[in-house]
Amino acid sequence: MTTGRRSFSLRLGARRLDLGVRTAIMGIVNVTPDSFSDGGSFLDPAAAIAHGLRLAAEGADILDVGGESTRPGAEPVAEHEEARRVLPVIRELAARSGVPVSIDTSKAAVAAAALAAGASMVNDVSALRADPGLGEVVARSGAALVLMHMRGTPRTMQQAPHYDDLVGEVVAELAAGVARAVAAGVEPEKILIDPGIGFGKTLEHNLELLNRLGGLDALGRAILVGPSRKAFIGRLLDLPASERVEGTIAACCCAADRGAHLVRVHDVGPVRRALRVADAIRGGAAA
């Protein structure tokens, strides 16, 4: 089921990202010891910076830098430690990558420091539920804001998640997040939404959300989807995280076909190439 995509123009610092004609890509830069797929690989700032530059060269439109794992069961990280991990990486990538940089955090203080260091987007997995001050930080900076759906916290979210009306409840809870952001002063056109694949969802929930992604159009916001190397792909293919690139590509192409404007991935090059073909088929012309 192909669905049309509404077009959005997103201002990210001095750059503008047009969303809708082609599917944009957010490249993942995990500066963590314990992320589910690449934890520890880029904990050293120099390694993380080099990795981010590679992702930008492969075609990433945005680089998303995170210093706290949000994998199922993850323990929280102290504010000062999270900032220590990400700030050197953000400074260098903002200066050298040629693409906008996002900070993946739910903490107002970390976001404020990251925005001062050159980030122009905040990616909050809690949709402004974790830190009431985060919305005001984003509003003051003029940054863009991604609001993701999650039930509970990373530590608890996979403990028997249940929905009576999956898409309806996800839409309603994201709408509440959008309302929180607007009340804090964030400009509505700078808000994006993410259904939270793998965050408080079973395998069946994830498949249904991806199949019915068009239901999020009711919120009138650009849609970001993050299926990259997730456990639902591992369950379907019986493969470890490092071998889930084909499953990630399939999920990203399906998400784009059903209305996703951006996808958040580890494997930028292969996903970029696949989406060029998928977008060309959707649009009937070379993307």
CATH of the domain at 157: 3.20.20.20
Report pLDDT digits (tens) over 177-208: 999 999 999 999 999 999 999 999 999 999 99
Report pLDDT digits (tens) over 132-154: 899 999 999 999 999 999 987 66
Encoded tokens for 200? 């408080």
Encoded tokens for 220? 């009138």
The reply to whether 111 falls in a domain is yes
Say what the pLDDT of residue 32 is. Answer: 86
Strands 8-12 and 15-19: antiparallel
Which residues are identified as catalytic?
230, 264
The reply to whether 2 falls in a domain is no
Q: Find out whether 179 and 225 touch, Cβ atoms under 8 Å.
A: no
Q: Above 80 in pLDDT, residue 41?
A: no
Q: Above 60 in pLDDT, residue 35?
A: no
Say what the pLDDT of residue 151 is. Answer: 85
What pTM value is reported for the model? 0.93
The reply to whether 3 falls in a domain is no
Report pLDDT digits (tens) over 84-107: 999 999 999 999 999 999 999 999
Say what the pLDDT of residue 159 is. Answer: 73
The reply to whether 119 falls in a domain is yes
- pLDDT band for position 158 (50/70/90)? confident
Q: Above 80 in pLDDT, residue 218?
A: yes
The reply to whether 1 falls in a domain is no
Burial of 238 (0-12, 13-18, 19+ CB in 10 A): exposed
The reply to whether 78 falls in a domain is yes
- pLDDT band for position 72 (50/70/90)? confident
The reply to whether 52 falls in a domain is yes
**DSSP string for residues in 86-121:** HHHHHHHHHHHSSS-EEEE-S-HHHHHHHHHTT--E
What is the enclosing helix (H) or strand (E) of 136? helix 134-141
Q: Above 70 in pLDDT, residue 37?
A: no
Per-residue CA distances from 254 to 81, 263, 269 (Å): 37, 11, 17
Hey, how many other C-beta atoms are within 10 angstroms of the C-beta on 8?
18
Range of the domain at 160: 8-281
The reply to whether 286 falls in a domain is no
Q: Above 80 in pLDDT, residue 50?
A: yes
Of 3-12, 51-60, 244-253, the poorest mean pLDDT is in 3-12
Q: Find out whether 228 and 243 touch, Cβ atoms under 8 Å.
A: no
Phi, psi of 197 (to 5 degrees): -60, 125
Burial of 250 (0-12, 13-18, 19+ CB in 10 A): middle
Q: List Cβ neighbours of 81 (8 Å cut-off, separation of 6 or more).
A: 67
Domain count, the chain: 1
Q: Above 90 in pLDDT, residue 267?
A: yes
